[in-house]
Amino acid sequence: MIETESSATNEIKTSKTIFKNLAGAAIYEHAVANKEAEITAGGALCARTGKHTARSANDKFIVKEASSEKNIWWDNNAAIDEATFDKLYAKVQTYLADKEVYQRDCYAGSDPENRLNVRVYTELAWHSLFAGHMFIEPPAADLPGFRADFTVIDAPGFHAQPQADGTRGSAFILLNFKRKVILIGGTAYAGEIKKSIFSVMNYLLPLKGVMPMHCSANVGKKEDTAIFFGLSGTGKTTLSSDPLRRLIGDDEHGWSDNGVFNFEGGCYAKVINLNAEAEPQIHAATGRFGTILENVVYDKHTRELDLNDGSLTENTRAAYPLEFIDNSIKGAAFPHPRNIVMLTYDAFGVLPPIAKLSPEQAMYHFISGYTAKVANTEMGIKEPKATFSTCFGAPFMSHHPSVYAELLEKKMKASQADCWLINTGLCGGPYGTGKRMSIKHTRALLNSALDGALAKVKFSKDPVFGFEIPAECPGVPAEVLNPRETWADKALYDAKCKELAGLFAENFKKFNVTSAAINGAAPKI
């Protein structure tokens, strides 16, 4: 268990009822009776979150106080003072004092040595079920004496007044490491509950030498664990969902001396345009009793879902227990990874479909967290735009990136894990000319990396990025492996490669990394 002072003093007091750890069916009754949500065809509970249909990144603050101030990476985290927090905390307590409240006691982390006891108070019934899915349900015998290490107080109906309350808007997500409490208000987007606890784990675990990771993870028949880092749109969920391997979890994990462990007890999948053939298990989960849908459009008469309708938001979501995925597996911890996969969607079309990284290159690319997106300009012209999110999860990084990078390097070397960079983006040319990497080829490359087949082939060193590119791979044409060879205009390839390398270098400056080895792994311009 993570050592913290108990947050028992953060209990909610109300003149109405506090409903404790209600079963899913009871939550359904409350949510429908309260007009928070409706039951859709198949049995999923669907809620709308109003104005906020995604995380409010600009409304998240960490309280600046003596116990944590020196550890926080303030360049990445907005500060709020204790007095401002205390004032808003008192207002939220007063707001909830005459309301029914839902309490959920749960664990964040499957490893008993590294888990966090979490108590979640929610104004909305369906938020309580969401917390029950996202975190891990304790055995019934543990509930009577449950003591929270951290408390989440979630009051979406309370809206802050920025001038009076010191916030940027009516929504707020405040983390207080001294008082062991998270305060959420002004937003009904349930993901704030999950991600705020992820931010807490990202702070607490490194202090005891445990690596927190925004990644998916699976394990093969030979007990060979693999972890997958990647930003949205890179294929993290798709590639980690392999019928020949067991899914440990799809989003947040820790890596301790005991191995890899899941932070969560469920999945929170994006479901816009979800295809039953491409993602059969996630698609099936959208029609099951117990699943919570956020902002998914459905027919008011038949209650049939329309997963292709993004009129409310493109960020439609489904939250469901991990066991809804047939090939999932639960356990306290799993073996140390043999393979680390970093996924990127390179819209410049210059990165290879797969490359092997040295430990130093792995640290460089981990700190960089690169992918590329295609942005629409006002004139309708589409150009690739580089996106960097350090450690593949910048919004949730409490410490400086070097803290997480050093932990990853230490654990990677100790377990002798291989690290692979996989480009699921474009090949054969830049945006407008190049084509998306074949998922068939990407699968073949990934499988060859995981089963050790690539260890037997020759590699060549990329002159700019320095990583090693395999000369061959079963099931993949040799000409696909070297990106320069897939371009008709080699001079244009060289120019685009130089352009991307320059973007990497410019982005990396802000981290002020002092390690000569990591800096030496940068692309050569």
> Catalytic amino acids?
55, 195, 214, 232, 236-237, 251, 317
d(CA 134, CA 156): 18
Find where tokens 């060549």 sit.
460
Residue 385: helix, strand or coil by DSSP? strand
What lies within 8 Å, CB to CB, of 351 at 6+ separation is 344, 421, 423, 425, 465, 483, 500
From residue 389, how far is each of 35, 94, 249, 271, 504 by CA, in Å?
38, 38, 21, 23, 12
Residue 230: helix, strand or coil by DSSP? strand
> Phi/psi class of residue 180: alpha, beta or left (left: φ > 0; alpha: ψ in -120 to 50)?
left
From residue 345, how far is each of 243, 310, 323, 349, 391 by CA, in Å?
23, 23, 29, 9, 16
Find where tokens 């959208």 sit.
286
User: Per-residue b/e over 398-422, b at no fewer than 16 CB within 10 Å?
Assistant: bbbbbbbbbbbbebbeebebbbbbb
Find where tokens 């009793």 sit.
289
Residue type for position 224: D
d(CA 108, CA 151): 12
Q: What is the 3-state secondary structure (H, E, C) of 149-217?
A: CEEEEEECCCCCCHHHHCCCCCCEEEEECCCCEEEEECCCCCHHHHHHHHHHHHHHHHHHCCEEEEEEE
From residue 466, how far is each of 4, 111, 280, 460 by CA, in Å?
43, 37, 39, 9
d(CA 88, CA 488): 61
d(CA 192, CA 173): 8
